[in-house]
Structure 1
Amino acid sequence: MRSILFLILAGVLSFALVDSALAAEFLSGQEVTIASDETWDGDVYIFAQSATVEGTIKGDLVVYAQRLHISGTVEGGVIAAAQEILLEGTYGRSSRIACQAAKVASGTEMKRDLVAACYSLEIDKGATIDGDLIYAGFQAMLGGTIQEDVWAAVNRAEVSGKIGRELSITTDSNHQQGPPPNQYWQDMKLVVIPMVSPGLTIHEDATIGGKLTYHSPTEVTIDDGAKVTGPIEWIEPEKPAPRDPQDKTDYFWNQLKRYVTLLVMGILMVVCCPATCGGAVDQIVQRPIVSFLAGVLAVPLSIIALGVVAGLILLVPMAFGWLTLDGLAVAGALIAVFGMVLYVGSLGYFFVFGAAAVTSITLGRIVFSDHPITSRGRLILALAFGLVFYVVLTCVPYLHVGVIVVAILFAFGGIFVWMMRGLFGSSAEKAKPAAKTA
């Protein structure tokens, strides 16, 4: 949680630095306290376990801590990320906070806006925000006075204070009441997280001076005595349409057609290149980690080779153009274009069909045989069996992209390792001296 809050803090620091015209002071330690009789003329940056501000800061206050308690005066704005934040005192400019729990206590005066992202936000009666409240979190309890608009996206909220203008809020009441939130964070010391009823509730002493717009699956609860000056607009989320059984049938047939297509294209590769398929599968089964890591290298190399082949379109005609024999330049161009088309087609075929075929054969090989498969028939049998698992795995939501990527890496890596072993293994065998016979 702290790392996330630190990223949020780092993102908003730039706004503070742009407006900063005074000298900045940096304070750090286990506990940092600015006493009530202290006055700091410039901006203050605090990095601590616990931060307490009782005095006066004439500039901005930027804090990253576990606990933050402000009861003094900040003539600038507050930018803070913490686990719990308790705001009292007076604030001259807009404040931006991110935490698990925040409380704006009674008597607090904020001259501008409050922007907050929290699990829980509570604004006590007697607290005043002269600007807007912009809030995103799990729950909110708004009991103070907000002079202008409130824009919020929460799971649940209760309004018992005064909102000067519009209230626009999104709630989700589908979550039932759970255990007290304080059970999740036992080390809370400054803020006690309140229990908030699901949905949106406007209590009898609440006043909304403008329009009430709420997005919610259930209607708002407005107690007798609550005042909503403007119109009330309820926007219900669209309910998902029931799935037509025909859609399930179409999905099944689409996957079946996909299986048949991959099977036919895989059989074509097995028939044309049985040694390559068998060799790649052997390397994946025997050296899975090496094959995977080789795939991480082989995939970008194949893309780089694509650029090399594309360069031949220019280099080959130029090379033949330097000769004086008629027609060689045209022939060179045709050869380069043919080579380009052949390579791009082969690469695209392997990305779309070949990787799935090699991976499926590997799955079938693991099930059917502990020994290398050399015959085309057994390769096709392993392909047909393993392809069932491949298609099923790629139908799983949030998993299909990962399965396809892993299959591509294993397939490219298996072929790359097989080619390297064939190349360097043959050279090593030729270089090895023959054994002498008696």
Structure 2
Amino acid sequence: MRTLLVLVTYLSFSLLCPLITNAAEFLSGQEVTIAADETWDGDVYVSAQSVNIAGTVKGDLVVCAQKLHVTGTIEGGVFAACQQILLEGDCGRTCRLASQVAEVGEGAKLDGDLVAAGYSLTVNQDAVISGDLVYAGFQTLLRGEIARNVWAAVNRAELFGGVGGELSITTAGSHAPDPLMTDEFWPGTPLVKIPRVPSGLTIHDSATVGSKLIYNSPSEADISAMAKVTGPIEWIEPASPGKEPQQKMDYAWQQIKRFLTILAMGVLMIVVCPQTTGGVVEQIIQRPIASFLAGIVAVPLSVVMSVLVIALIVAIPMGFGWLDFDGLAVAGSFIASFAAVTYLGSLAFYFVFGAAVITCITLGRVVFSDHRITSRGPMILMLGFGLIFYVVLTCVPFLGMGIFVTAILFGFGGIFLWFMGKVLAGSAENRPRAATDGK
């Protein structure tokens, strides 16, 4: 339980915390590279399919891509959401990673903490993490050195290297099924190799733990007699649930129903309002950081607007009643109630389904970056592809709520910027026309 509480705290407040910067550079494209002889002052934000950092970044590095490869020096921290991440350089502060597969390469030095979530995490030999390691995912392979503590919740884990402090970990049993994801999963040449980690917790001869070892697992860990564990070893064996197979079936059926529901609502949005849906997605693709930040403003603003709309239900009838126009009080009440129901219903729909649909189409649009949204057909294809990633990511322990909140912020921020762009464009068209009419 302690491991789970620590992971919730770290991943809620560290992985999803907003970034505040004084100066920043924004880069995008098919492939973005910072060469070894380049030095970038301040923070660098990158949105691309492939990102290679061989030079020096004096601030933080913020990346949204399919592949991220760092061989240079990041004096700040790394904030990345990618399919594959390979860190082989030096990082001056805490790194926060969300990826399917991540690897800290040989010789890499991370001066802060490493907070990560995904399918697989590897810390190679001669890699050094000067702070804590906090990880939630399917598996982890630790060959390097972690100077302080390790807190993890995984299906399987293997330790060859050293942990300077406490090792607190939750794993599945030693007879858990083999992983389904392999290197052949990646199109083309994979940036990161997916290791085969045995089920449960395995601690080898070369492993060292500087403090106590606490592991929560249905079966006893495979701990070598040659491994050096300074503190006590505590095995917490969870109670075996009596209806585990039925619970798994119920959970799988819930995810299938959720997938089909979001898919149906997304198709409805695309068919009814394709231009608005496509415009919001393109807005997020072109201005991801601005859309996220706008969402922080748009979400509370929508709540304020809801209060104002509800207030109109009372204000309009009262206003007409005070004026004592026959029949207008009833008409005003009807109009106000209709407007309130329409607005609040639309807001509730967008909050529950619309933001998730926009996020899914955006994920698909990132993958199919060579194809712009030209009709309903491609948009539905992007929705289906992105929805797979969305459902899988929201099923990752401790990550689902973060993905849901991120989708809400991007969805509301994107539609806010799209609406403001339409308003400003309409004002710009009307100004010359008004001047011509005056002449």
TM-score, structure 1 normalization: 0.51
Instruction: List gaps (5 residues or longer) in structure 2.
Output: 1-10, 245-309, 315-439
| Residues 1:148 and 1:46: Cα distance change in structure 2 (over 3 Å) | same
User: Shift in Å at residue 33 of structure 1?
Assistant: 0.2
Deviation, 1:138, is 0.3
What CA distance in whole angstroms lies between the structure 2 residues aligned with 1:228 and 1:71? Answer: 33
Is this contact kept in 1: 2:72–2:89, CA < 8 A? yes
User: What is the match of residue 94 of structure 1?
Assistant: 94
Higher relative contact order (CA 8 A, sep 6+): 2
Code of the aligned partner of 1:29: G
Residues 145-294 of structure 1 aligned to structure 2 (within 5 Å): 145-173=145-173, 174-178=175-179, 181-187=182-188, 189-240=190-241
Query: Taking structure 1 as reference, are residues 10 and 112 closer, same or farther at Cα in structure 2, changes over 3 Å only?
Result: closer
1:16/1:116 Cα in 2 relative to 1: closer, same or farther (>3 Å)?
Answer: same
Q: Partners of 1:160 and 1:24 in 2: how far apart? A: 39
Q: Distance in 2 between matches of 1:11 and 1:65?
A: 22
SS in 1 for 2:205: coil
Structure 2 CA distance for aligned equivalents of residues 10 and 211 of structure 1: 26
One-letter amino acid matched to 2:44: V
Q: Structure 1 residues 30, 219: closer, same or farther in 2, change over 3 A? A: same
SS at match of 1:194: coil
* Structure 2 SS opposite 1:83: strand
DSSP 3-state at the match of 2:239: coil
Q: Deviations over 1:312-348 (max 9, x none)?
A: xxxxxxxxxxxxxxxxxxxxxxxxxxxxxxxxxxxxx
Alpha-carbon distance in 2 for matches of 1:89, 1:65: 18
Aligned counterpart, 1:295: none
Q: CA deviation at 1:16?
A: 5.2
Aligned amino acid, residue 48 of structure 2 = A
Summarize the alignment of residues 331-350 of structure 1 with structure 2, pairs less than 5 Å apart.
Answer: none
- Please list the CA deviations of residues 29-49 of structure 1 after superposition, one character each: whole Å capped at 9, or x if unmatched: 000000000001110000001
Q: 1:12–1:79: 8 Å Cα contact kept in structure 2?
A: no
Distance in 1 (CA, whole Å) between partners of 2:15 and 2:221 is: 38
Call closer, same or farther: CA 1:86–1:241 in 2, change over 3 Å.
closer
Residue 183 of structure 2 aligns to a residue whose secondary structure is helix
| SS in structure 1 at match of 2:19 | helix
Are 1:58 and 2:49 counterparts?
no
Q: Could you tell me how far apart the structure 1 residues matched to 2:202 and 2:19 are?
A: 40
Letter in 2 for 1:184: F
CA distance in 1, matches of 2:217, 2:28: 44
1:223 Cα deviation (Å)? 1.5
Residue 75 (structure 2) aligns with: 75
Instruction: Give the aligned residue type for 2:221.
Output: V
Distance 1:158 1:167 in 2: 12
Distance 1:108 1:61 in 2: 16
Query: How much has 1:146 moved relative to structure 2?
Result: 0.2
Bigger radius of gyration, 1 or 2?
Answer: 1
- The alignment of Structure 1 onto Structure 2 pairs a total of residues equal to 238
Instruction: Compute the displacement of 1:12 (Å).
Output: 7.2
Q: Could you report, residue by residue, the CA deviation over 1:386-434 in whole angstroms, capped at 9, with x for unpaired residues?
A: xxxxxxxxxxxxxxxxxxxxxxxxxxxxxxxxxxxxxxxxxxxxxxxxx
Shift of 1:14: 7.3
Q: Distance in 2 between matches of 1:110 and 1:33?
A: 21
Equivalent position of 1:370 in the other structure: none
Equivalent residue letter for 1:49: Q
In 2 relative to 1, CA 217–13 (structure 1 residues): closer, same or farther, beyond 3 Å? closer
After the TM superposition, which of the residue ranges 234-243 and 46-55 deviates more from structure 2?
Answer: 234-243
Secondary structure of the corresponding residue to residue 196 of structure 1: coil
TM-superposed CA distance for 1:63, in Å, is 0.2
Match in the other structure for 1:126: 126
Q: 1:81 to 1:179 in 2, by over 3 A?
A: closer
SS at match of 2:195: coil
User: What residue identity is the alignment partner of 1:17?
Assistant: L
User: Is the counterpart of residue 17 in structure 1 residue 16 in structure 2?
Assistant: no
Contact 2:14/2:115 (CA < 8 Å) preserved in 1? no
Shift of 1:184: 3.5
SS in structure 2 at match of 1:82 = strand
Runs of 4+ in 1 over 6 A off after TM superposition: 9-14
- Partner amino acid, structure 1, of 2:72: G
* Distance in 2, Cα, partners of 1:167 & 1:46: 34
Q: By how many angstroms is 1:182 displaced?
A: 2.1
CA contact (8 A) 1:138 1:156 kept: yes
Task: Return the alpha-carbon distance in structure 2 between the equivalents of residues 43 and 122 of structure 1.
Answer: 26
Q: Could you say which residue in structure 2 is the equivalent of 1:104?
A: 104
Q: Deviations over 1:79-105 (max 9, x none)?
A: 001010000111111000011101100
Distance 1:167 1:27 in 2: 39
Asked if the contact 1:84–1:188 (Cα under 8 Å) also holds between the matched residues in 2, the reply is no
User: Please, what is the CA RMSD of the aligned residues?
Assistant: 2.8
Alignment-mate amino acid for residue 28 of structure 2 = S
The answer to whether the Cα contact below 8 Å between 2:15 and 2:115 also exists between their aligned partners in 1 is no
Residues 183, 190 of structure 2: 8 Å contact kept: no
Give 1:309-328 correspondences, 5 Å limit.
none
1:295-323 Cα shifts (integer Å, max 9, x gaps) = xxxxxxxxx9xx99xxxxxxxxxxxxxxx
| Distance in 2 separating the partners of 1:152 and 1:10 | 15
Whether the aligned pair in 1 keeps the contact of 2:15 and 2:97 (CA below 8 Å) is no
> For 1:79 and 1:153, how far apart are their aligned partners in 2?
21
| Conserved? CA contact 2:68–2:85, under 8 Å | yes
Q: Amino acid of the residue matched to residue 119 of structure 2?
A: Y
The residue number in structure 1 matching 2:35 is 35
After superposition, residues 423-438 of structure 1 pair within 5 angstroms as none
Report sequence identity in percent.
58
Shift of 1:118: 1.4
Check the 8 A contact 1:180/1:195 in 2, yes or no: no
Query: Residue in 1 aligned with 2:140?
Result: 140
Note closer, same or farther for the CA distance 1:141–1:13 as it changes in structure 2 (3 Å cut): closer
Distance 1:165 1:205 in 2: 16
Q: Which structure 1 segments of 5+ residues have no match? A: 1-8, 244-303, 309-438
Q: 1:129-170, CA deviations, whole angstroms, 9 ceiling, x for partnerless residues?
A: 000000000000001000000000000000000000000000
Q: 1:16, 1:60 within 8 Å by CA — same for their partners in 2? A: no
Shift in alpha-carbon separation, 1:94–1:193, aligned structure 2, 3 A:
same
